[in-house]
Structure 1
Amino acid sequence: MLNQKDYAGSVAFLVSDHYVMLGCVIDSSTVTADSDGDKILKAGTILGKITASGKFGPYNSTATDGRQTAVGILAHDVDVTKEDAMVNYLIHGVVQESKLTGIDATAKTQLSHIIFI
């Protein structure tokens, strides 16, 4: 039997058409594999930038590699099981907070150009 996963989510967290996105590379080593061994980050995941490499990974308030500072929100689901991947991330706009992954009060403060509703 074929095991299929749907990970085609996108910017459903955006509330308005006024936004700014940039591109980055997700470091696959920062993404935890699921029970099937897949490393998938969902759209709406808060991202941090790794200081040493310039790559990005999921925001982690207790990290010491740069990811403790939130810099944006992942625009589309991405599978980094086999390798790093180029993605777009939101740096300015209005978003629905309930549709985000990994958001906390510190990240909201750091993402000063994003309005959370």
Structure 2
Amino acid sequence: PGRFIGAAHANPLGGAPALRELARCKHELGFPGVVITSETNGLYLDAAEFEPFWAECARLGLFVFVHPALKLNQTQQFDGYDMARSVGREFSLVMATIRLINTGVFDR
């Protein structure tokens, strides 16, 4: 007790039902944050489709933990030597961070 916290898992592209789930997890379960992946459905986290998710997280005061995507949008550069799993996921995290900074998501 007091050492672990829960975090919501909600589809950032899930529309109104997913946004309601974020609010439920915050208010009913006391979760202070949400976990998403660094790439989703062929989109990067700075895509316009994610804006309702980012706005709701900001409104609710949730932290967002970005986990490396298990399925990368672009994999050709990681073909062979198990590079998609060994370095591709970390590359995905770096790219997600740069895209979020450069598009001003953290400033909104």
- Normalised-by-shorter TM-score class: under 0.3
Q: Greater share of strand residues, 1 or 2?
A: 1
Instruction: Tell which has more relative contact order, 1 or 2 (C-alpha 8 A, sep 6+).
Output: 1
Q: TM-score, normalised by structure 1?
A: 0.24
Q: Give the structure with higher Rg (CA).
A: 2
Q: TM-score, normalised by structure 2?
A: 0.25
Q: Greater share of helix residues, 1 or 2?
A: 2
